[in-house]
Structure 1
């Protein structure tokens, strides 16, 4: 049985034929045909999440993990707008979402009908493309056009790079009628192959490579790739090359410069020009470190090439000179034999610098009292191997960069827009999609409280582990220049508060643990990660004043 709405029935049929499986539905009446059709198809895996904002982030987490398109579907009106934060994150993080929004018929828009807003192209700035289905299919020609439109929408979620695509679906009453004869569609290929970079582009890139005596390869956020990892390791052996990564790059090697903020903090004024690259090569999406952005904007590379399948001109460092329209793995595989080594001390500059900085960092960590920095040091050592680690915004993902990249983790973080909204929901979706791995989300107290509706979800799985760093507010505002000395810091920036997560966890049947010192933390972690039928939440309390001062002392120590 399926909805008698032909547009929805056809959409469901093509959805399955194109190989899609997953949809996250939120309750409503106008989207009843979508609910009836998708849940009625045996090949569709449908889940229900009440809160649309949380539902969209839950689907984003699923798509992060599965690396395939996941659909979301909601009713009309303000429900649609609640999708916006996750859609923006998916757009900038390049996550494939298919957004299905039920709508009123055109004649009911702007006449005072309930749950009605202007939904056509409502996400215009944060989607790859938007489509609107007709209210009815009344001819074979109309059916073929809708068939083509649906195929194109699904294809666009993956090509040339993943991202969100919107289909708005006007629906008239009655909404709950069923039929035993579904509409059937056909698969159409609406996109071509990504062309290879031109010989002219390759020639220009290789020219800049051969001219450079200081080449910096900087990897942004990306998925793990053993082949790309090996390619970067081989390039990192060249005298003129330094490969710089972050935790969210998901590239691991002792040869990589994976503690960017530590390394840059410890560069003296006299050394800055030694580290300034001739050639900068970037790939991936967001880079967390503000320090590397400031350094490369102040001391820009002579040439900057960005590698992007969509040809995106990501001029983060304001010195972009060329774009290679392909993915990094394919490009470096194709050009590896032409990437010759040049005589240089650049690699050794960074290598020696890293060794010195690591020694200073470890010495500092061994002497500090209980604080956030101490907690992260313990967590990254003690969280079980072969885990998925989700780093919340704003402070958790920044603290993680100070400890380098652990091969035992696959890192996730919502660094597309870098908002605190939806980070627990995203981790929950990821955990739901991969129940065989422990999924740990480390979030601040404000981030957790802001997304506490993530727990109002009957699809939460036992492999979801939530760690809440409760330091009584948004701790980042206590140490970044500006708000750290403002009279309004605690009330309006850090938003100091007395709240705890205990009652929220208990309300949603989440196992709850809390610790207030190092001994308690090391003792409770084993039980926190023990196999159980329920998710678990660990609240770690630290002193907000200690945290800010110790972190400032840490950076001063590296500078000394």
Structure 2
């Protein structure tokens, strides 16, 4: 076989083997060295490809494609710093357990460390963030070439599902000429394999006696169906905004951040004396106040982890269980307990909901806007929330709990939020809520909406700076705050909307938020201009008012 045939056999086999283990979507960033990989993905009959010219945004877009179902998604780029731009998304994928497959083209070995252009050390370059790494040999005539690829993909695919799910990296050095033989489609001949799924580890039937608190964070698994196990008088469920179970589980506590921020010493003592165990399921919660409570309490804690790498934050548990949440719960026996504590905590949660619904018209800050947006948004629309204020405002002001909510909370960064939201919007109607700095940080990501015709509603709170910092101790140092933390950018997003073919709507008053605005079809950039200082004062007022109410509730 000549070089072209050998190269074609290698890359077509690679792509087909990955497809057989579930890679049905690939995001390609154009480049020369990655030509054979891009063409292989484009020609494969079972793969949907997307073209994104910015590698950093492309990787976050792929992460968004995988977000809801944790399906393996490929990303293809050329050699050099193109591959380095995948790093932030690979870090987020690692911490969020997203099976990204980085396929990085590379220079052949004779061009490395010689000063050849577009050549950097790509060997295991994501070593801190991937579950698996391999580098393929240069395409050659060795009899085991195809078998090697199949063996490597078999090893790689174990991280596409299960207790070790996460990103992987395959580096592919390629010699010129780079064009494969586009007629060799017979190499796409494999059938798709069934996922091995999860296996239980520590499948013991442990007994949990008495009254329990269940903190349920985001999970890879859709845990709808566990209601029959956890909906009992002796168990009180606290659900993170990203946990979709809160939509179906009655009496789930969702205002826990406000509650744990407000507890009196007597109420804290009541919890300590009336709760026998705490069970934490899935990822750590968003709420800082809830995590501070977990770090301080003396109540014994246990963790159900879907992943082999158990996340112990905010405090190490007495014991942990690893495997599917539903399977693990089937092996746990709950007995005893009574409804007294559950009624007390769920009543507080209900009182907070009623208080917000009744008094929200007294406010006009970003929280009030968020409340109106939630109330006006149809249930079938999902929210994608930027880190910092949007996720926290959703947690505080959502009194409906009917929407699916997504966010990049693995590394909690603001990079790639736009791209991840657009990836999620490929498969469902999405409203992205974001601040001006986070939108600026990933404006390049908007191009994919134009190239692929992806509809999305983007609501940007433009408070001319980093609003979250106003809630931190740095705010007290007025001499340095604005320059170092407030960072006003004075951006006019009408130009952004025009550049990327978005409709631009400016909102000045809360009353302008209605169903027609927030549910409109197409690509819409809704800009809400707010004041950071006013936002801080009104947020704190509502928090303090609710704290006084909570402290007055007897047990």
Question: TM-score, length-normalised on structure 2?
Answer: 0.91
After TM superposition, list the pairs within 5 Å mapping 1:356-435 onto structure 2. 356-368=351-363, 370-404=364-398, 406-432=400-426, 434=427
After TM superposition, list the pairs within 5 Å mapping 1:143-292 onto structure 2. 143-178=146-181, 180-181=183-184, 183=187, 194-198=198-202, 201-203=204-206, 206=207, 209-210=208-209, 213-222=210-219, 225=222, 227-231=224-228, 235-239=230-234, 241-252=235-246, 253-276=249-272, 277-292=275-290
Bigger CA drift: 339-348 or 542-551?
A: 339-348
Q: Cα–Cα, structure 1 residues 372 and 296, in superposed 2: closer, same or farther, change >3 Å? A: same
1:513 equivalent in structure 2: 505
Offset, 1:15: 2.5
2:474 equivalent in structure 1: 482
Offset, 1:191: 9.4
Which secondary structure state, in structure 2, belongs to the residue aligned with residue 347 of structure 1? helix
2:463 equivalent in structure 1: 471
Deviations 1:109-138 (A, max 9, x none): 221111111111110111111111111233
Paired with 2:346 and 2:193, the residues of 1 have a C-alpha distance of 48
- Are residue 316 (structure 1) and residue 313 (structure 2) matched? yes
Which secondary structure state, in structure 1, belongs to the residue aligned with residue 378 of structure 2? coil
The question of whether the paired residues in 2 share the 8 Å contact of 1:216 and 1:244 is answered with yes
1:326 equivalent in structure 2: 323
Aligned partner (choices 328, 335, 347) of residue 340 of structure 1: 335
Paired with 2:221 and 2:256, the residues of 1 have a C-alpha distance of 19
Which secondary structure state, in structure 1, belongs to the residue aligned with residue 98 of structure 2? coil
Aligned partner (choices 443, 467, 470) of residue 452 of structure 1: 443
Q: Cα–Cα, structure 1 residues 11 and 262, in superposed 2: closer, same or farther, change >3 Å? A: same
The question of whether the paired residues in 2 share the 8 Å contact of 1:301 and 1:319 is answered with no
- Are residue 543 (structure 1) and residue 540 (structure 2) matched? no
Which secondary structure state, in structure 2, belongs to the residue aligned with residue 331 of structure 1? helix
Paired with 1:3 and 1:407, the residues of 2 have a C-alpha distance of 55
Bigger CA drift: 289-298 or 8-17?
A: 8-17
Offset, 1:8: 1.1
Paired with 1:154 and 1:459, the residues of 2 have a C-alpha distance of 30
- Are residue 500 (structure 1) and residue 492 (structure 2) matched? yes
Offset, 1:3: 8.3
Q: Cα–Cα, structure 1 residues 404 and 273, in superposed 2: closer, same or farther, change >3 Å? A: farther
Offset, 1:14: 1.3
After TM superposition, list the pairs within 5 Å mapping 1:52-67 onto structure 2. 52-67=55-70
Q: Cα–Cα, structure 1 residues 416 and 405, in superposed 2: closer, same or farther, change >3 Å? A: farther
Paired with 1:46 and 1:379, the residues of 2 have a C-alpha distance of 33
Deviations 1:153-187 (A, max 9, x none): 23322233431111111111111242533656867
Bigger CA drift: 167-176 or 147-156?
A: 147-156
The question of whether the paired residues in 2 share the 8 Å contact of 1:300 and 1:317 is answered with no
The question of whether the paired residues in 2 share the 8 Å contact of 1:6 and 1:137 is answered with no
The question of whether the paired residues in 2 share the 8 Å contact of 1:469 and 1:542 is answered with yes
Aligned partner (choices 293, 299, 320) of residue 297 of structure 2: 299
Which secondary structure state, in structure 2, belongs to the residue aligned with residue 138 of structure 1? coil
1:32 equivalent in structure 2: 35
1:102 equivalent in structure 2: 105
The question of whether the paired residues in 2 share the 8 Å contact of 1:3 and 1:176 is answered with no
Paired with 2:5 and 2:442, the residues of 1 have a C-alpha distance of 34
Q: How many residues align?
A: 539
The question of whether the paired residues in 2 share the 8 Å contact of 1:3 and 1:179 is answered with no
Offset, 1:334: 4.1
Question: TM-score, length-normalised on structure 1?
Answer: 0.90
The question of whether the paired residues in 1 share the 8 Å contact of 2:497 and 2:525 is answered with yes
Which secondary structure state, in structure 2, belongs to the residue aligned with residue 148 of structure 1? helix
Bigger CA drift: 13-22 or 260-269?
A: 13-22
Segments of 5+ residues of structure 2 without an aligned counterpart are 549-555
1:530 equivalent in structure 2: 520
1:559 equivalent in structure 2: 547
Q: Cα–Cα, structure 1 residues 141 and 187, in superposed 2: closer, same or farther, change >3 Å? A: farther
Deviations 1:462-514 (A, max 9, x none): 53111101111110101223335453221111212311211011111111111
Paired with 1:19 and 1:292, the residues of 2 have a C-alpha distance of 37
Deviations 1:56-94 (A, max 9, x none): 111111111343111000001111111111111111111
Offset, 1:226: 6.2
2:7 equivalent in structure 1: 4
Bigger CA drift: 76-85 or 455-464?
A: 455-464
Bigger CA drift: 52-61 or 138-147?
A: 138-147
CA RMSD of aligned residues (A): 2.4
Which secondary structure state, in structure 2, belongs to the residue aligned with residue 456 of structure 1? helix
The question of whether the paired residues in 2 share the 8 Å contact of 1:390 and 1:411 is answered with yes
Which secondary structure state, in structure 2, belongs to the residue aligned with residue 178 of structure 1? coil
The question of whether the paired residues in 2 share the 8 Å contact of 1:58 and 1:428 is answered with yes
Bigger CA drift: 319-328 or 346-355?
A: 346-355
Offset, 1:329: 1.5
The question of whether the paired residues in 1 share the 8 Å contact of 2:458 and 2:526 is answered with yes
